[in-house]
Structure 1
Amino acid sequence: MKLSVIEINHEPELVVQTATGWLKLTSYFDQVEEVPNFTMENLFDSKVYKGLQFLLESDLSQIDSRYWLDTIDDCAFYPVVSQPGKILAVGLNYKNHIAEVKMDKPQVPEIFNKLTTSLNSHNSPIFLPNNDWEYDYEGELVIVIGKEAKNLASDEVDRAIFGYTVGNDVTARQLQFQTSQWLIGKSLDGFAPVGPSLLTKDQMDLGQARLTTKVNGQIVQEAPLTDMLYSPQEIVRYLSQYMTLKPGDLIFTGTPSGVIMGHNPNQLEWLTQGDTVTVSISGIGTLENTIRYEK
């Protein structure tokens, strides 16, 4: 299923796409099922998820029209997960990206993290500090963990994954390479937009999906997800050997070639005020954010 979190009456509303429109789950469960504050996080419970599947397979025409939206295109969005415990990320996970930035191929997944205060949403501005810190985009597939996981065997990995969303690992390159640790350059406020939707793992075709990033309508990144050096399943299994993954954790899986840092040094045009960056992954949707300078 495809799920989004939108704003209705200044409150988050979890919605699910059906053949006839978007069903407002938060409102429906509050007023019909008497389950208040129904959120994406509720669905990490397998019993609740199966209950929603049963509902969606029933006669939806019996649900009152007040619980339906024809489209969510003009809505304000929240991040698909409101409070991830961790935002982890993988660097250098596409061979062509490794080549363009002239770094060595990692022998294991190159793991770093972004602070949770960097979380941002679809259609929200990305505010840049008014400094010349060389701002760059990185379109990425993002894993959403659905079950607590530690020391996973290969055949257990899929059970830990709830679904996938689209992300942009926005980066201040000057800060990233100021020291050997990337944290500061990756974790400025709002530098981890995700959305607009989450696609559950059962509907995600990783073998066919493609990622496309555009800046002001021009394609700057394009690659199949199969170009990853380490697959989402390999990444999750690797991480689980060293830390407990929790429901709602987000894992950015790396970016393909085409980042600004990889361009000709004489043609570097970093992100600036007014630029619009879109990241699309087939099946999930298009994440869009516009660059603004902090006042």
Structure 2
Amino acid sequence: MKFATFRHGGREQVGLVDSEAERVYPVDVADMVELIARYDEIAPKIRMNGNAVELSQVELLAPIPYPRRNIFCVGKNYRDHAREFASSGYEAGAVKGAEIDDYPAVFTKPATCVVGPGATVDTHPKVTSAVDYEVELTIVIGKGGRDIAREHALEHIFGYTIINDVTARDRQKNHRQWFLGKALDTFCPMGPWITTADEVDAANLQVRTWVNGELRQDANTRDLIFDIPGLIETISAGTTLEPGDLIATGTPAGVGLGFSPPKFLKAGDNVTMSITGLGTLSNPFA
């Protein structure tokens, strides 16, 4: 199933999406995190009934518009991207021949970055001149836990969505860490909805990005260096994961810094991302 957060008639709601019929059916919950946390109880009561609203008549928001915690993010998790990043000059301290890490690089984005499909992303021209895009398959935790073993990791996943891990490359380089380059307001478009895990083969999904109609990123999650069970095991080691937590799993090659010269984003650009079975996320930049 697919679940969205949307605004209709001035009210924010959660709904079950019929993407073929382009309709959404409201679900009686306070927000998406409540749906996730109580899903086993709520799921049998969810129906496609006569209360449908046309998707064209609603404003889709980020599926979790107000995450309760920072978003966990994984860096350099596709081999080709790790190499393009290391050779770009934007990775502080990059060592030739050591582009592939032995352990996943994990950082966070603040929840205040989150915006929804169609929302305008601010390029922050007074702060950065090197805004980049990163399409990322994103895990939505359903069942919380700590010290989760990889063989049980998939049991803790509610579903998946798309995140654009927008990045100010100059800030990322200059500050010699990733947070400040990732943390600017509007730098985490998310959506268009969450697709439940039972409908997704996360180990075999095509991941793509277009900038102004030009295909830039095109890869498959088969190419992940650190797979999804391993990421959950690593991130949950000594740290409790909670329902509604988000883990962005990394981006493939084809980001703006990988071109010569780099193709960074500017006001007026439009970035569209798609992942098999998860829909399309599109945002203008200004």
- The answer to whether the superposition gives a TM-score over 0.5 is yes
Q: CA RMSD in A?
A: 1.8
1:247 shift after superposition: 1.3
Paired residues for 1:127-146 under 5 Å: 127-131=122-126, 132-146=128-142
What residue identity is the alignment partner of 1:110? A
Aligned to 1:82: 65
Aligned to 1:268: 262
What residue identity is the alignment partner of 1:52? A
Cα deviation, 1:158-200, whole Å, max 9, x if unaligned, reads: 1221110001000001101112221110000010111001011
1:54 shift after superposition: 5.2
Cα distance change on mapping 1:76 and 1:50 into 2, 3 Å: same
Aligned residues of 2:22 and 2:55 also touching (Cα < 8 A): no
Aligned residues of 2:151 and 2:229 also touching (Cα < 8 A): no
What residue identity is the alignment partner of 2:270? T
* Residue 108 (structure 1) aligned with residue 103 (structure 2): yes
Cα distance change on mapping 1:175 and 1:74 into 2, 3 Å: farther
Structure 2 SS opposite 1:202: helix
Aligned to 2:213: 217
Unaligned runs of 5+ in 1: 30-36
Paired residues for 1:1-295 under 5 Å: 1-18=1-18, 22-26=23-27, 29=28, 37-46=29-38, 48-53=39-44, 55-56=46-47, 60=48, 63=49, 65=50, 67-69=51-53, 71-73=54-56, 75-84=58-67, 85-102=69-86, 103=94, 104-131=99-126, 132-264=128-260, 267-292=261-286
What residue identity is the alignment partner of 1:107? D
Q: How far apart, CA to CA, are the structure 2 residues paired with 1:134 and 1:55? A: 45
1:142 shift after superposition: 0.8
The percentage of counterpart residues that share the same residue type is 32
Normalising by structure 1, we get a TM-score of 0.87
Q: How far apart, CA to CA, are the structure 1 residues paired with 2:211 and 2:58? A: 22
What residue identity is the alignment partner of 2:273? V
Q: How far apart, CA to CA, are the structure 2 residues paired with 1:113 and 1:42? A: 23
Structure 2 SS opposite 1:25: strand
Normalising by structure 2, we get a TM-score of 0.89
What residue identity is the alignment partner of 1:122? P
1:115 shift after superposition: 1.1
1:262 shift after superposition: 1.1
Q: How far apart, CA to CA, are the structure 2 residues paired with 1:20 and 1:127? A: 33
Provide the aligned length of Structure 1 versus Structure 2. Answer: 272
Q: How far apart, CA to CA, are the structure 2 residues paired with 1:55 and 1:190? A: 32
